[in-house]
Amino acid sequence: VKGDAPDGEALASASETKQWLERAIGALPLPQREVLTLAAIESLPLAEVASILGIPVNTVKTYLRRARLRLVSSYERRTKVTT
């Protein structure tokens, strides 16, 4: 890499990851988003998440699994585009 101008794309990546993630979470279906927020961001135990949302623990697990899989595949697509 040579030249004096900061590399726009790379510069953007650091600050944009968070924005991307917020968008990606926003694009999840509501139930998945709720479960992800409580379980993955707030680190609540799954049983607690289930009782807050009033759904069975197994459903919580399913949503959580789907939410993370979607985020990862969206993340992988995104890195492919940028690199």
Partner 1 sequence: MNEDCKTIREELALTGGEAESESAREHVFSCSDCTRFAEALGKVEFELKALSGHDVSDEVVAKLLARKELGVNPRRTRWRVPAAALATAASVVLAVSLLLNRGHESFEREGDELDYREPNKNEESPPPRLEPEDEDRFDAAAGVSPPSPPSAGVFAPEDKRQDLSKEKLAQLEGELQEEKKDSLLDAGRFAARRPIPTGHRDPVYPDAARSARVQGTVILEVTVDRQGNVTDARVVESIPLLDQAAVEAVREWKYEPLETDAPRVFRVPVTFQLPSPDGEGLSLLEERAQVDGLRFVEPRGYWANTYLPGDPMRRRLERRPERTMGAIPALHETARPASLPFDPSSTSALSLFVHADRSGITSKSRLLVQVGIRASDHHGRRRPPMNVGVVLHLPENVSLSDASAVTSLVQSLASSREAGDRFRVITTGAGAKEIPPEEFSYGPLSVRLREWLEEPASSSPSLFEALASTLARVHAGDDPAMPLGTSVVLVVSGRSLDSELDRLLHMVQESAVGGVSVSAVGFGPASGEASLEKLALSGQGRRYDLGRAEDAPGVVDRELTSASRAVARALRLRIQLAEGVRLVGVLGSEPLSARAAARVRAEERSIDLRLSRNLGIEADRGRDEDGIQIVIPTFYAGDAHSILLDVVADGPGPIAEVTARYKDLVQLDNTVARANLSLPRSETAPGPLEATVAKDYLGFRVSEALRAAAESLDQGDPARSIRCLEAVRSLLARVGPSDSDLRRDVALLDGYLEWVPRFSAPRERDYLVSSLLYASSLKRLSPTTAS
Q: What residue ranges bind partner 1 (CB under 8 A)?
A: 1-2, 4, 6-7, 10-15, 17-18, 21-22, 25, 30, 33-34, 36-38, 40-44, 52-54, 61, 64-66, 68-69, 71-72, 75-76, 79
Q: Distance (Å, rounded) from C-alpha 50 to C-alpha 83?
A: 39
Distances (CA, A) of 31 to 24, 48, 51, 62, 77: 14, 15, 14, 10, 23
Least Cβ distance, residue 25 to partner 1 (angstroms): 8
Asked if residue 34 lies in contact with residue 54, where contact means CB atoms within 8 angstroms, the answer is no
Toward partner 1, which CB reaches closer, 12 or 47? 12
Q: Distance (Å, rounded) from C-alpha 27 to C-alpha 21?
A: 10
Least Cβ distance, residue 80 to partner 1 (angstroms): 11
Least Cβ distance, residue 51 to partner 1 (angstroms): 9
